[in-house]
Amino acid sequence: MNKKSSNIMALAPTTSNKRETVCIFGTGDFGRALAHKMIQSGYPVVFGSRSTQTSSLIPKDAEVLSHAEAARKATIIIIAIQRQHYNFLTSLGEILHGKVLVDISNNLKINQYPESNAEYLAQLVPGAKVVKAFNTVSAWALQSGTLDASRQVFVCGDDMEAKQMVMDIVRALGLTPLDQGSLLAAQEIENYPLQLFPMWKFPILLSLGLVTFFFLYSLIRDVIYPYVNENKDFSFFIAISIPNRICPILALILLALVYVPGVLAAIIQLYRGTKYSRFPDWLDKWMLCRKQLGLVALAFASLHVLFTLVIPIRSFVRWRTSSQIVSQALNNKTEPLDNTNAWLSDSYLALGILGFFLFVLLGITSLPSVSNNVNWREFRFVQSKLGYLTLILCTAHTLVYGGKWFLSPSSYRWYLPSAYMLSLIVPCAVLVVKFVLIFPCLDKPLTRIRQGWERNSKYSE
Ligand code: NAP
């Protein structure tokens, strides 16, 4: 398939849309993968290498020459070499003068060097126009064609014309160039591939912490307490009962935590009387990872649904149901239908189903393919209004679950309330504060502040 397409493209230079020759320094993994893609896109490619011997790995339509010879043949030279080997480029200073040098390199550590690799390259070859690009695309993705996750190519450079030439190549390869500005941005661009799910770190660490806490808490209340007090072995609760307690708790707390920064930001803005002073760093970071917090919450909610579905087939549940029936039969007495309980149970289930449905809807709208198709107002409406509605439904689902035992002293074990009661603290607090914030006496000044009004403006007459 690749052979076929590169043969077709090899015809391209004979047409009037002949593309300019591109030179690639380095016949390593990335150099070869990029050359392959470029030849497919109709670019004649010439390699600059320490050895002019060609090999079966090198695309057959590409020439392999010495660095100096190859550089003479092209205006754009892609440096597919590790930074630590850049020194030899100084000896090519004259040939490289006025050429566009594309730095694609990455480092092994964040901020490994005082300056970015691209700036270092610009210092080594001052006469060249250095552009940073391609470092966030992997050789594997270029070769395999599965570029969905890394279709974006961040580009930066001080020379507008050079940057435009590189962005044209990026587009011709079927990728999306994103102009990040001057070469000063290179350091940040070089750090991107080294960041391991930066926005996911806080939600995942927080979830791990909460899971550990609630697991131990439930273990003490539901397994150790009955064992010590009643000599009953409920250790099998660890498999389904406790996870099915932890999952909804985590889902509810994390969903509430998505809305805490918004509420805190509103309070800070009201207190300061302006939107022009910066929020504390931790609040900014918290705001940035709200989507990830929401998605982790959705994952826990989905697990809760799955755990709930298996309840009827659990041996313990079947044993409890049958023993209740047998004891009623033995006593020759049937329990009358408790209407209040029936209402509570059905409302609890209905609230859970509706809450989960909206939760899934929220998750779907946060997907880039969906959010790109709605305007900012629609997105805000779904994420804020529908989000709060989801939080209300899920909180109500938990409150109704507690039912009439909610504050009963018998639900305390060793003075510890049920874990679901703890899970209600954050969501209830968020909902109460949000409710207070929609009072006109607070909502009106907040809206004005968000429109740019300042209580103690330096610029007001
Ligand atoms: P590689 O496979 O090790 O290839 C590097 C090439 O550099 C070698 O094949 C060699 O080419 C040349 N070279 C090695 N030592 C040299 C020296 N002392 N002087 C001159 N040239 C020398 O590395 P790679 O994976 O292709 O990566 C190349 C660059 O692309 C790196 O800066 C990397 O950070 C960046 N990058 C790689 C990927 C990836 O997925 N691999 C993704 C993004 C960015 P010759 O033998 O032809 O001279």
CATH code where residue 162 lies: 3.40.50.720
Residue 342 domain-assigned?
A: yes
Q: Same structural domain for residues 249 and 158?
A: no
Burial class (CB in 10 A: 0-12, 13-18, 19+), 423: buried
DSSP H helical segments within 273-310, as ranges?
Answer: 281-288, 290-309
Helix residue ranges, H only, 310-458: 315-330, 339-365, 368-371, 376-380, 387-402, 419-423, 425-437, 440-450
Domain match, 185 and 210 both: no
The SS3 of residue 406 is coil
The pLDDT value recorded for residue 8 is: 42
78 CA → ligand 1 middle, Å? 11
125, 92 in Cβ contact below 8 A? yes
Residue of 24, 52, 67, 82 to mutate, ligand 1, most atoms within 8 A of C-beta? 82
Lowest mean pLDDT among 9-18, 110-119, 302-311, 317-326: 9-18
Of 168, 194, 220, at which residue does a domain stop? Answer: 194
Q: Which residue has the higher pLDDT, 91 or 460?
A: 91
Mean pLDDT throughout 10-38? 81
For the ranges 61-65, 81-85, 91-95, 329-333, the lowest mean pLDDT is seen at: 329-333
User: Which one, of 348, 358, 259, lies nearest residue 301 by Cα?
Assistant: 358
Q: Do 295 and 178 belong to one domain? A: no
In a shared domain, residues 44 and 65: yes
Residue 278 CA to ligand 1 center (angstroms) comes to 43
Structure tokens at 38: 């470029």
Residue owning tokens 């015809």: 11
Q: 304, 244, 259, 288: which is closest to 426 by C-alpha?
A: 259
Kindly state the average pLDDT of the residues 280-287: 92
Query: Tens digits of per-residue pLDDT, 129-187?
Result: 999 999 999 888 888 765 555 688 999 999 999 999 999 999 999 999 999 999 999 99
Q: Report pLDDT for 148.
A: 57
Provide mean pLDDT across the span 240-257. Answer: 96
Assess contact for 66 and 52: CB atoms under 8 A: yes
Q: 171 and 134 in contact (C-beta within 8 Å)?
A: no
Among protein residues, the one with the nearest Cα to ligand 1's atom 3 is 28
Most confident range, picked from 109-113, 250-254, 400-404: 250-254
Which residue's CA is the closest to the ligand 1 atom numbered 23?
28
pLDDT exceeds cutoff 70 at 4: no
CA of 246 to the centre of ligand 1 (A): 48
Please tell me the predicted confidence (pLDDT) of residue 437: 95
Per-residue pLDDT, averaged over 362-371, amounts to: 83
Distance, in Å, from the CA atom of 393 to the CA atom of 251, rounded to the nearest integer, reads 13
Judge whether 285 and 202 are in contact, CB under 8 Å.
yes
> Cβ(221)–Cβ(160) under 8 Å?
no
Q: Which of 135, 164, 194 is the endpoint of a domain?
A: 194
Q: What tens digit of pLDDT does each residue of 329-356 get? A: 999 888 888 898 889 889 999 999 999 9
In a domain, 459, yes or no: no
Are 176 and 218 part of one and the same domain?
no
Asked if 214 and 165 sit in the same domain, the reply is: no
pLDDT for the residue numbered 3: 42
Q: What is the mean pLDDT of residues 317-338?
A: 89
Tell me, what's the pLDDT at 403?
A: 66
Same domain, 252 and 358: yes
Q: Which atom of ligand 1 is nearest to the CA of 107?
A: 34
Q: What is the mean pLDDT of residues 255-270?
A: 95
Please say if the pLDDT value at position 459 is more than 70: no
Percent of the chain with pLDDT over 90: 68
81 C-beta closer than 6 A to ligand 1: yes
458 inside domain: no
Task: Decide: 27 in ligand 1 pocket, CB within 6 A.
Answer: yes
* Domain with 58 in it: 22-194
Q: Average pLDDT for residues 56-73, to the nearest whole number? A: 94
Residues 255 and 139 grouped into a single domain: no
Closest ligand 1 atom to Cα of 79: 29
Widest distance between CA atoms in the chain:
104
What would the two tokens of residue 134 be?
Answer: 């391609």
Is residue 267, in this structure, part of any structural domain at all? yes
- Decide: helix, strand or coil at residue 351: helix
461 within a domain of the structure (yes/no):
no
Tell which of 149, 164, 194 closes a domain. Answer: 194
Q: How far apart are CA 270 and CA 262, in angstroms?
A: 12
Residue-level pLDDT at 341: 86
Lowest pLDDT segment from 12-16, 61-65, 86-90, 383-387: 12-16
Amino acid 182: pLDDT:
96
Q: Are 222 and 342 in a shared domain? A: yes
In a domain, 381, yes or no: yes
For residue 136, the ligand 1 atom closest to its alpha carbon is 43
Q: What is the pLDDT of residue 457?
A: 67
Do 188 and 217 belong together in one domain? Answer: no
117 lines ligand 1 (CB under 6 A): no
Mean of pLDDT over the chain: 89
Is there a single domain that holds both residue 229 and residue 316? yes
Q: Evaluate whether residue 96 is within a structural domain.
A: yes
Least confident of 322-326, 378-382, 433-437: 378-382
Assess if residue 144 is contained within a domain: yes
Residues 410 and 307 placed together within one structural domain of the fold: yes
Q: How many domains does the structure of the chain reveal?
A: 2
Segment holding 259, helix H or strand E: helix 241-272
CA distance 190 to 117: 8
